[in-house]
Chains A and B, each alone.
Chain A
């Protein structure tokens, strides 16, 4: 589904990603872990198309299509979804109206007519239940006055509504208490299917107890330096990121 080859990206001409390779197939969940400043969030933002991130080399293909050529909205319409680390509050834009607009535009891109109001509301109801999102919040202004946990849950609700091919969760666990974490994770688990894929970016192993990944990658200094299965996350938890720093340092010395 997603192929990243030798991706280099810079912010304000400082190179952050330095040759990243990753292959994600449909039905898979990949976890990306790494110490602060290793480039985890940069990866999420580059994939979603944030303009302040400049890609200096490499390619990203989504089902063979060059993702880097597309505007952020077209990437979303092609099926990329970034769950934001810091979802934005937009007073005056109702959550529902926002979702309706987004869904209509995505459908129009695919040549589908907009959903009938009745079908749309039915879908809202179903997905709300699926991800345990409070109906009262859905009718409020987008994220306005939401708690940190409510904002993250709204991201998962949007994810459920827009049904992307590839979802990137950017530190969705940050700032969540254990209950909120469980709800968010259970939402994601409900949405997993053989047709979609997830990239879960996280600093801690904790989230991966709830969203069990097929693969775990360790990002360090802009490159993936270790890949493995979920046991790698446990090992990392036990030994700490210093272990990565030391071993990678040693390998480079050799």
Chain B
């Protein structure tokens, strides 16, 4: 049954899908796409009646007119927007969701494969993992993405390879006409491989309003380690739906650092981590500093499927002006997942008197021998602390910076990459 679909965009997407099928038959992913599009058609776009979209109304966004494909690739993009001082990294650039080989570094590193998603279909890791994880969720934007994506990044790290430098993926939005893009990524870390991926989302000056539907599937094989940073520094014309689905094998480690700063009007992040073997460790850290009329929603699922795993999640929201932040953190501890150690904490600081925070920590435990905790706080500036700092000669503005800095410290101090930590601390200061 189709509920409340936005007719025009919905029809437009259907037409685009049908044209795609007609032109490219047989598409290598034909069957997958077909099933995905059928799934999307069954539900349509989510509405606020859906529990997971209760605070996140996508209708106003979907009612805008969009084109579905960008103009020709520009040959340059303002990559300075994403520069992280002091960071030495392999740079991959996507412009309007399309992998730009011209702007990306070639990565001549043994064991590392980086490809545009549209050229990855023959890779073993692709056939094995593509659409195996994200598509099992009920997020209609994932189904839509699977059916319609054009480009994205495919990264595969060979077993035992340890990358010397991080991979910095820069997603630039530049189109001067409103664009609805479907970007699809797949990152696979081989057995005992180690790497670091930093993603920056930026907007060029003059870009029209756009909606970006990102889906990333991530697989960390046995003993692998992945540090994954997402830095949301896009501009006001930016609207994002990001779905990150992580699948972890035995002894693997996955750390996600998810930061949003003033800019992008609408951000919805879904981050799901499935700990599907024993001795798996996952960390999810998040900071959202919002301003203006921004809306930033972080929905996470940590799914403990097997025994002896550990997860640790800490999200901090700082809301200014009339902005809104949402945190929904769900931890499942399945029947098999004995001796699980799961921690979750969400702290919120409302600075803007008109700002809002919706937070929902959830814990569902089906095993009987586990250690789990979750907690949540909402507060404001501590006037006592503010006065204490001012009484020592520190200006009110600087005192606020110090206090927000201190509030974010629990999260920023966990950043494994010093350059990224400093960059994020700087953005926190700038964003106040």
B395–A88 touching, CB < 8 Å: no
Beta-carbon nearest neighbor of A78 in chain B: B393
Q: Given that A98-B402, A101-B402, A105-B398 are contacting pairs, would A90 and B388 also be in contact in the complex, using a CB cutoff of 8 Å? A: yes
1/0 per residue, CB under 8 A from B, across A47-82: the answer is 011110000000000000000000111011100011
B388 to A109, Cβ gap below 8 A? no
- Cβ–Cβ contact B391 & A92, under 8 A: no
A93 touches B391 (CB 8 A): no
Closest Cβ neighbor of A92 among chain B residues: B406
* Bound CA span A75–B391, Å: 8
Interface size range of chain B in the complex: 20 to 34
**Residue of A with least CB distance to B412:** A92
A106 at the interface (CB under 8 A from B): yes
Neighbouring B residues of A162 by C-beta, 8 Å: 392-393
Minimum C-beta distance from B45 to chain A (A)? 41
Report the bound CA distance from A224 to B385 in whole Å: 31
A128 within 8 A of B: no
How far, in Å, is A171 (CB) from chain B's closest CB? 16
Main secondary structure of the interface of B (DSSP, over half): helix
Alpha-carbon gap, A48 to B382, bound state (A)? 18
Q: Does A87 contact B (CB under 8 A)?
A: yes
| A49 partner residues in chain B, CB cutoff 8 A | 390-391
State which of A50, A72, A84, A92 has its C-beta within 8 Å of the C-beta of B409. A92
Contact between A93 and B394, CB atoms less than 8 A apart? no
B388–A88 contact, CB under 8 A?
yes
User: A93–B406 contact, CB under 8 A?
Assistant: yes
Give the CA-CA distance A167 to B405 in the complex, in Å. 29
Contact residues in B for A172 (Cβ distance below 8 Å): none
- The minimal Cβ–Cβ distance linking B185 to chain A, given in whole angstroms, is 34
The residues in B between 375 and 422 inclusive whose CB is less than 8 angstroms from any CB of A are: 382, 384-385, 387-396, 398, 402-403, 405-410
Partner pick for B402 among A51, A87, A93, A106, CB 8 A cutoff: A93
Chain B, Cβ-Cβ closest to A83: B391
Structural contact, B394 and A102, CB atoms closer than 8 A:
yes
User: How far is it, in angstroms, between the C-alpha of A228 and the C-alpha of B75 when the chains are bound?
Assistant: 84
A77, A87, A103, A106: the one contacting B388 at CB < 8 Å is: A87
Residue ID in chain A nearest B392 by CB atoms: A102
Residue on A nearest B395 in the bound complex, by CB: A73
Q: Which of A72, A103, A162 has the most CB of B within 10 A?
A: A72
Q: Are A73 and B390 in contact (CB under 8 A)?
A: yes
Q: Is B382 in contact with A88, judged by CB distance below 8 angstroms?
A: yes
With known contacts A92-B406, A93-B405, A101–B390 Cβ distance under 8 A:
no
CB nearest to A158 among chain B residues? B392
CB distance from B16 to the nearest CB of A (A): 49
Q: Are B393 and A90 in contact (CB under 8 A)?
A: no
Q: Does B393 contact A98, Cβ atoms closer than 8 Å? A: no
> Cβ of A72 and Cβ of B390 under 8 Å apart?
yes
**CB-CB nearest in chain A for B401:** A101
Q: Are A73 and B385 in contact (CB under 8 A)?
A: no
Bound Cα distance from A68 to B257, whole angstroms: 47
Query: Distance in Å from the Cβ of B230 to the closest Cβ of chain A?
Result: 23
CA distance A19 to B150 in the complex (A): 79
Q: Is the pair A73, B382 in contact by a Cβ cutoff of 8 Å?
A: no
From B406, which residue of chain A is reached at the shortest CB distance?
A92
CB pair B390–A91 under 8 Å, yes or no, is: no
**In whole Å, how far is B398's beta carbon from the nearest beta carbon of chain A?**
6
Query: In the complex, what distance in Å separates the CA atom of A49 from the CA atom of B394?
Result: 13
The chain B residue with its CB closest to the CB of A144 is B406
Residue pair B390, A76 in contact (C-beta under 8 Å): yes
A residues near B396, Cβ cutoff 8 Å: 71, 73
Cα A87 to Cα B385 with chains together (Å): 9
Which residues of A sit under 8 angstroms from B384, Cβ to Cβ? 88
Selected from B382, B391, B398, B410, the residue in CB contact (under 8 A) with A101 is B398
Q: Which residues of A contact B390 (CB under 8 A)?
A: 49, 71-73, 76
Supplied contacts A73-B394, A88-B385, 18 more A-B pairs, CB within 8 Å: A48-B391, A49-B390, A73-B391, A73-B393, A73-B395, A75-B391, A77-B393, A82-B391, A88-B388, A90-B388, A90-B402, A92-B405, A97-B402, A101-B394, A105-B393, A105-B394, A105-B398, A106-B393
Interface positions of B (Cβ within 8 A of A): 382, 384-385, 387-396, 398, 402-403, 405-410
